Amino acid sequence: MNIQNITIFDTTLRDGEQSPGASMNTEEKIQIALQLEKLGVDVIEAGFAAASPGDFDAIARISEQVKNATICSLARALDKDIKAAGDAVAKANMQRIHTFIATSPIHMEYKLKMTPEQVIKKAVEAVSYAKTFCDDVEFSCEDAGRSDVGFMKEVLDAVINAGATTLNIPDTVGYRMPSEMGAIIKSLHEVVKDRAIISVHCHNDLGLAVANSIESILNGARQIECTINGLGERAGNAALEEIVMILRTRKDLFATYDTHVNIKEIYPSSKLVSSITGIDPQPNKAIVGKNAFAHESGIHQDGILKHAQTYEIMSAKDIGLDQNSIVLGKHSGRHAFKDKLIALGFSLKDAEVNDAFDRFKILSDAKKEIFDDDIRALIADEITKIPQIFELITLQLSDCNPGGVPSAAVSIKYDGQIITDAAIGNGTMDAVFKVIDRVCGVSGELRDYKVDAVTQGKDALARVIVKVIFDESKPAIMGHGLSVDTMLATAKAYIGALNSYMSMRDGLRSVHQKSGANI
């Protein structure tokens, strides 16, 4: 049997980051990219190099560290964008530039203010210029879902002749029905044939992104653009985990199709992305939602106990979920801890293992039982740390008696010195933020605050995520904090956001100068 590989093009770091509130710093993007490599995706769209010095830096660093996946940068059909993309992926083992221009009548008339002939000319010029940087060039017809199929055939034929190797047909606004999407891909495939790979990038505005992607495969698409947990603008993108598990589970329909994805890494990938972005999949989300393998009905529970397949079409263990077993305790040693990290799929350097073990011992003193998800959260927090410009040493809070004045005292390490101060506030959290602002000399405005329990129990590890504005001209900065003490986790999250802001403010200027990119 001739098995056809469906290329998995992951755009979590580009389109996924465009989810409201899902911004990531460079270290976080690198860790997600390394996990995507472990997951086995074929292409990682690491960002939009021309968008900002930060995006350029993240793509360049990912290009240096990821070895087994193609690294791609998005670029408009503009020379400056394409040059930035080419420079950003220059050190990748496998490089791709993904350039695009709109082809729908509404976009050409109102956004581009260009004629169809001008659009074709611009598309050809963009692909030709991109080919001077790398051989692998992808071209997208933006808003293809509302474009004239006859016109798209002209555009695609022209860019193939210019050297495009992948042709992307995005349903940019999530407009099409599966039958319509299938018909569009079938019609285009009859013209393209084997001259290039047809790709689809489906948005989920009508809840049809995955269905449209699957229908596209059945009609000739051989690349699917998707994201972990279905992250993306508005209602999101096609969910990688759903597409992969549909192909894997329904072999009766998809016997001739497969992917390179290691499905055991699906759950760890989902957890890492949700930990970093602060966006958890809804509980009833297919494959990775916390209820995906939960059975409350007595009839279902009885059937599962007798034979799992009575009510489950896949196993939780297939996607790397071991039902959150208790793993370690305060008497566990370094060797057992390292073995557990390996079992969970983490590959850390000795120094990183030592640092993580020290944090684990602190946690095990405060928490009776430690679960797999506690370890995942702890390691995700450790490996995504940026340089600690400010480091929280101690936090002390006043008793919040009725009628009392909440206060907070901190000791923070900065430039080798420990600075101690205190402040009062309208509440305990306000006092914590005020004293940190005073010690660090930078004032932030809290825009969002989220706290949740990593696992169960009264002593559950609290994960706090904050979004803070330090500069009104810049987007909110996200910070993460972990502790069994919610207010300590809150202080860590706020300082984490501050460190991200300081690193970007002080570091990206020099990075941009070194890159030479015309951004």
Spell out the SS3 assignment of 454-500.
CCCCCCCCEEEEEEEECCCCCCCEEEEEEECCHHHHHHHHHHHHHHH
The answer as to whether 282 is a domain residue is: no
The answer as to whether 295 is a domain residue is: no
pLDDT tens digits, residue range 114-169? Answer: 999 999 999 999 999 999 999 999 999 999 999 999 999 999 999 999 999 999 99
Which regions of the chain are under pLDDT 70? Answer: 20-21, 294-312, 322-327, 399-403, 506-519
pLDDT tens digits, residue range 461-497? Answer: 899 999 999 998 888 888 999 999 999 999 999 999 9
| Residue 200: C-alpha distances to residues 155, 220, 237 (Å) | 16, 10, 11
CB atoms within 10 A of CB 269: 27
Rounded CA-CA distance 156/376 in Å is 44
The answer as to whether 465 is a domain residue is: yes
Residue reference for tokens 């003193």? 365
In 3D, which of 338, 413, 349 has the Cα closest to residue 383? 349
The answer as to whether 413 is a domain residue is: yes
Domain termination site, one of 219, 243, 277? 277
The answer as to whether 314 is a domain residue is: no
Rounded CA-CA distance 104/194 in Å is 25
* Residue 14 near residue 227 (C-beta atoms within 8 A): no
* Residue 53 near residue 515 (C-beta atoms within 8 A): yes
The enclosing domain of 434 has a CATH number of 3.30.160.270
402 and 360 within one domain = no
Question: What does the pLDDT read at residue 94?
Answer: 98
146 and 269 within one domain = yes
401 and 376 within one domain = no
452 and 330 within one domain = no
pLDDT tens digits, residue range 24-48? Answer: 888 889 999 999 999 999 999 999 9
98 and 143 within one domain = yes
Number of domains in the chain: 3
431 and 376 within one domain = no
Question: What does the pLDDT read at residue 302?
Answer: 46
109 and 218 within one domain = yes
Rounded CA-CA distance 491/481 in Å is 7
Domain termination site, one of 338, 358, 383? 383
3-state secondary structure at position 83: helix
112 and 259 within one domain = yes
Rounded CA-CA distance 45/94 in Å is 12
Domain span including residue 361:
326-383
What lies within 8 Å, CB to CB, of 509 at 6+ separation is 53
Mean pLDDT of the residues in the chain: 88
153 and 18 within one domain = yes
Chain centroid to CA 52: 18
395 and 340 within one domain = no
The answer as to whether 303 is a domain residue is: no
The answer as to whether 354 is a domain residue is: yes
The enclosing domain of 72 has a CATH number of 3.20.20.70
Question: What does the pLDDT read at residue 264?
Answer: 94
Rounded CA-CA distance 164/15 in Å is 21
Q: How many H helices and E strands in the chain?
A: 16, 18
The answer as to whether 292 is a domain residue is: no
336 and 438 within one domain = no
271 and 346 within one domain = no
Domain termination site, one of 348, 366, 383? 383
In the beta sheet, which residues pair with residue 94? Answer: none
Question: What does the pLDDT read at residue 20?
Answer: 65
pTM of the predicted model, to two decimals? 0.82
